[in-house]
């Protein structure tokens, strides 16, 4: 799958780059030294020595164990189990400039959130978030019709084009399970 490389959007319709990017949440404590599990981790953002923001404070990661899917970290100044438990549920964030550079045709979830998803002239809805499923990543789309969320797999057969600068994602309606409803909506003149 390939995307359109381009300059960041500017002007009145431009979306501002986020000041901080979510990297996970503080989970339950692990051991007595202030370490904790990270829930909903974003791969590659929680390296030893990296700085994460918790409750508006930047803190360095001083211990990193576990796996990419189930990381265990300890932050500077969080020195015991009680301190780790006090942070439970807090969001861990990183500055955008700390994000690893992605290959062409790859995007960070926050870049796709808010994009309009279309199939030809049919507006399906807006991306609310990206989910990591066992088989692939999917975009959760809040339908323009107000119906339940639609999942769009991030595979070549489903996604035809991603234009982050235009805030637009074009999908193949024939590949998605929602094709009959969307086609009926188009026939009735709806978007």
Let me know if residue 81 belongs to a domain. Answer: yes
Let me know if residue 2 belongs to a domain. Answer: no
Residue 55 sits in which domain range? 21-94
**pTM (predicted TM-score):** 0.58
pLDDT tens per residue, range 87-120:
999 999 998 877 777 778 788 788 888 999 998 8
Let me know if residue 163 belongs to a domain. Answer: yes
Q: Which helix (H) or strand (E) holds 184?
A: helix 179-187
Give the CATH number of the domain where residue 169 resides.
2.30.30.240
Cα angle: 104, vertex 150, 107; to 5 degrees? 15
Whether residues 115 and 78 fall in one domain: no
pLDDT tens per residue, range 5-47:
333 333 333 344 457 888 999 999 999 999 999 998 987 889 8
Task: Choose among 55, 56, 38: nearest CA to 46.
Answer: 38
Let me know if residue 157 belongs to a domain. Answer: yes
Whether residues 118 and 82 fall in one domain: no
Let me know if residue 139 belongs to a domain. Answer: yes
Distance CA 66, CA 41 (A): 12
How many structural domains is the chain composed of? Answer: 2
């Amino acid at each position: 799958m390939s995307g359109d490389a381009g300059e960041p959007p500017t002007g009145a319709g431009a979306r501002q780059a986020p000041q901080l990017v979510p990297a996970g949440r503080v989970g339950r404590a692990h051991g007595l030294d202030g370490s904790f599990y990270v829930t909903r981790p974003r791969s590659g953002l929680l390296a030893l020595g990296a700085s994460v923001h918790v409750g508006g404070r930047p803190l360095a990661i001083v211990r990193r164990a576990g796996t990419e899917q189930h990381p265990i970290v300890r932050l500077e100044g969080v020195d015991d189990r009680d301190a780790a438990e006090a942070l439970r549920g807090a969001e861990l964030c990183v500055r955008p400039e700390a994000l690893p550079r992605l290959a062409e045709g790859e995007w960070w979830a926050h870049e796709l959130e808010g994009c309009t998803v279309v199939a030809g002239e049919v507006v399906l809805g807006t991306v609310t978030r990206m989910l990591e499923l066992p088989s692939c990543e999917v975009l959760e789309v809040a339908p323009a019709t107000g119906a339940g969320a639609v999942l769009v797999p991030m595979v070549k057969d489903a996604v035809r084009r991603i234009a982050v600068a235009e805030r637009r994602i074009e999908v193949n309606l024939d590949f998605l399970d929602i094709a009959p409803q969307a086609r009926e909506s188009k026939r009735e003149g709806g978007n």
